[in-house]
């Protein structure tokens, strides 16, 4: 076959080969965003306890007494299921101020002279999670009254963040469909079914799994103790976001 005939045959075959190629898929791809705002149902409090004594046993007994008082007070206000979890227990030696003023800093020191051990400090850090959100601020004040050296309402979260995420995701898919329908109307085409659906990045709140539930209303404070000072806490709703990327077919 001559070069001219070969070129003619190639040109004749090109339209047939192009006809065999699948037509490009016609799609509308959009990103949808959904937001769920849910009032928090779990509060987290943290507190620190401190016991002092001439011996390690005296310091730890003082710490134990404060721990018992705070635990009982918390259970009385928030309910019996709101039991503190404790950790980071330390018992350290204490020396006089003159020992600190002589430039020893963190260097090893002999327990004599200005650096003689004068007593011991026992400390403990604890945390409480409760669904009595409306009494969380009051609980922080009560902890301080009962011996906590530092009591804080750390924040609010959701006991079931998965449900909030599901609602946010459903809203994101609905938002994606609304955006795609608006694009289809503007382009004068008909929107078809979903071709692909991909979960995007979303920002979720701090999660607390298995939040404590109150089994019964809290008992009143003992008659001999004054009622705790009421501190009203009004947390903002927990915001859960979801993002999805959806491709819709364009109908012929």
180 and 238 both lie in a single domain? yes
Closest CA to 128 of 45, 5, 230, 21: 45
Number of domains the chain is built from: 2
Query: CB within 8 A of 105, min separation 6: which ones?
Result: none
Distance CA(218)–CA(227), nearest Å, equals: 13
pLDDT of residue 201: 60
* 101, 162: one domain: no
Q: Which residue has the tokens 């204490």?
A: 94
Tokens 């003159």 appear where? Answer: 98
Amino acid 83: pLDDT: 80
Regarding whether 198 and 134 lie in a shared domain, the answer is: no
The residues, any chain, with a CB within 8 Å of residue 114's CB and separated by 6 or more, are 95, 96, 98, 99, 102
Question: Which phi and psi angles does 95 have, rounded to 5°?
Answer: -125, 165
Residue 54 shares a structural domain with residue 122: yes
Whether residue 195 is contained in a domain is answered as yes
The whole-number pLDDT of residue 244 equals 92
Distance, CA of 181 to CA of 186 (rounded, Å): 9
Q: What is the CATH number of the domain that holds 184?
A: 3.30.110.170
Segments forming the whole domain that contains residue 147: 43-157
Tell me how far apart the alpha carbons of residues 191 and 189 are, in angstroms, rounded to a whole number.
7
Q: What is the pLDDT of residue 202?
A: 42
For 143, phi and psi rounded to 5 degrees?
Answer: -60, -45
Task: Tell me which of 108, 132, 157 is where a domain ends.
Answer: 157
Question: CA-to-CA distance for 40 and 237, rounded, in angstroms?
Answer: 6
> Is 121 within the bounds of a domain?
yes
Residue 32, domain member (yes or no): yes
- Assigned domain for 236 exists: yes
**pLDDT tens track, the chain, 252 positions:** 554 544 455 445 555 544 555 555 799 999 999 999 999 999 999 999 999 999 999 999 999 999 999 999 999 999 988 888 988 899 999 988 878 755 545 566 677 788 889 999 999 999 999 999 999 999 999 999 999 999 999 999 999 999 999 999 999 999 999 999 999 999 999 999 999 999 886 444 433 333 333 334 444 555 567 888 887 788 889 999 999 999 999 998
My answer on whether 131 and 33 are in the same domain is no
| Distances in whole angstroms, Cα of residue 243 to Cα of each of 47, 132, 173, 216, 240 | 37, 32, 8, 40, 11
Q: How far is CA 153 from CA 43, 91, 128, 161, 194, in A?
A: 8, 26, 9, 20, 46
Question: Which segments within the chain are labelled E, that is strand?
Answer: 27-38, 42-53, 85-95, 117-130, 150-157, 190-199, 238-251
Is residue 223 in a domain? no
Q: Angle 48-49-52 (CA atoms, 0-180°, nearest 5)?
A: 145
Between CA 229 and CA 180 the distance in angstroms is 55
Q: How far is CA 42 from the centre of its chain?
A: 11
Examine residue 19 and state whether it is found in any structural domain, yes or no. no
> What are the CA-CA distances from residue 75 to residues 110, 147, 152, 205, 240 (Å)?
44, 15, 17, 27, 31
Do 153 and 47 belong to one domain?
A: yes
Supply the pTM of this predicted model. Answer: 0.67
Same domain, residue pair 137 and 167? no
Residues 153 and 52 both lie in one domain? yes
112 lies in the same domain as 190: no
Q: Taking the CA of residue 211 as centre, how many other CA atoms within 13 Å lie in the half-sphere pointing to its CB? A: 22
């Amino acid at each position: 076959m001559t070069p001219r005939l070969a070129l003619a045959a190639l040109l004749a075959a090109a339209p047939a080969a192009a006809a065999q190629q699948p037509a490009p898929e016609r799609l509308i791809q959009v990103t949808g965003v959904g937001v769920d705002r849910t009032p928090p149902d779990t509060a987290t409090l943290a507190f620190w306890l401190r016991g002092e004594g001439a011996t390690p046993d005296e310091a730890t007994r003082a710490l134990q007494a404060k721990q018992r008082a705070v635990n009982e007070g918390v259970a009385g206000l928030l309910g019996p299921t709101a039991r503190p979890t404790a950790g980071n227990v330390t018992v350290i030696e204490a020396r006089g101020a003159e020992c600190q003023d002589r430039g020893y800093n963190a260097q090893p020191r002999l327990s004599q002279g200005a650096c003689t051990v004068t007593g011991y400090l026992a400390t403990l850090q604890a945390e409480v999670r409760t669904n009595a959100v409306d009494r969380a601020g009051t609980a922080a004040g009560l902890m301080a009254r009962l011996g906590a050296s530092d009591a804080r309402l750390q924040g609010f979260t959701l006991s079931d963040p998965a449900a909030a995420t599901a609602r946010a995701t459903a809203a994101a898919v609905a938002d994606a469909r609304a955006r795609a329908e608006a694009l289809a109307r503007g382009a004068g085409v008909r929107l078809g079914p979903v071709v692909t659906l991909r979960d995007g990045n979303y920002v979720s709140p701090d999660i607390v799994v298995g939040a404590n539930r109150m089994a019964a209303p809290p008992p009143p404070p003992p008659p001999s103790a004054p009622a705790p000072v009421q501190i009203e806490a009004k947390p903002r709703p927990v915001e859960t976001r979801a993002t999805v990327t959806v491709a819709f077919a364009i109908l012929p």
